A and B are shown apart, each in its own frame.
Chain A
């Protein structure tokens, strides 16, 4: 059992690191739209993938740790609040949706989750500046969310389905059966997932 927990921590850690790396890189990409706070939300690929591959608890932990560390890496209080609000609302929505959605519809969680994420961010922006006029940006953010969310959702979906076809997934989740070649398994996971993130 201890081995299973350790493995889980390691896997969650790796995924968190990936999410963080994606997040830090995309934070540097300024978007041409005259809309405050809009970002691609690519890091959600990891969260979404984790939600299905590992379960909501792991996904939640990865999300929170990523947000926490992310604010350390840059952005300050404002960015932290934004990530937190966006991530929380998205996570809650996905928590519900995953119950009604089939394997080939994971991308839907990406799209709708991104909408929730962006809506939450505008909400925070309005609360912080106390200007309800900002709500004028909501529709564009929803549209952008649908587009980027669908893409990241599809990526997460592809990764998950690809992984499902191998025996890796059951071994990730279960942990009861020890792999014969631990090093090999770790290496394969890395490569497969990295390939699918692209």
Chain B
């Protein structure tokens, strides 16, 4: 196959993934409730819009500890004892989840909706 064919393929992949990627990551978080999961299980949830005073919440995972800083409409991982502390660098939770991989910890905003309402 000619080289320029490959160039086109790779260029297309780059363009598409870049656009999709940026769109996905700049989405505004929908909903007010932050959910904290360890190993896929919900360990903590908080309605960020109802938070008055900022506070720290410690999550003890079987793999290590993370400290969450929770304020009104804001949540971030403030500290962790994982090797690279990449989770701390992720900053505030925006559209995409906060992750501490070594600790299997994920913080995400979930939509507030329900599948049906009982009344």
Q: A residues engaging B (CB < 8 A)?
A: 30, 32, 34, 36-37, 74-76, 78, 82, 100-102, 104-105, 108, 111-112, 115, 125, 128-131, 133-134, 136-143, 146-147, 150
Contacts and interface: CB of A to CB of B under 8 A. Distances in A.
Nearest to B84: A30
B74 interface: no
Contacts of B94: 34
B13 A142 contact: yes
A82 B102 CA distance: 11
A134 B10 CA distance: 24
Contacts of A30: 84, 86, 89
A108 B1 CA distance: 12
Contacts of A34: 25, 89-91, 94, 96
Contacts, number: 103
B24 interface: yes
Given A125-B99, A139-B17, A36 B87 contact: yes
B25 to A, nearest CB: 6
A100 B101 CA distance: 37
B63 to A, nearest CB: 8
A130 B108 contact: no
Contacts of B99: 36, 125, 129, 131, 134
B106 A133 contact: yes
B62 interface: no
Contacts of A108: 6, 10
Contacts of B108: 131, 133
Given A139-B17, A139-B21, A146-B10, A102 B3 contact: yes
B106 A131 contact: yes
B14 interface: yes
B14 A128 contact: no
B105 interface: yes
7 contacts: A37-B101, A104-B3, A108-B10, A129-B39, A130-B40, A133-B97, A134-B99
A150 B24 CA distance: 24
Contacts of A37: 86, 101
A78 B63 CA distance: 11
A125 B40 CA distance: 11
A160 to B, nearest CB: 16
A129 B37 contact: yes
Given A30-B84, A102-B3, A105-B3, A36 B21 contact: no
A146 B89 contact: no
A101 B6 CA distance: 9
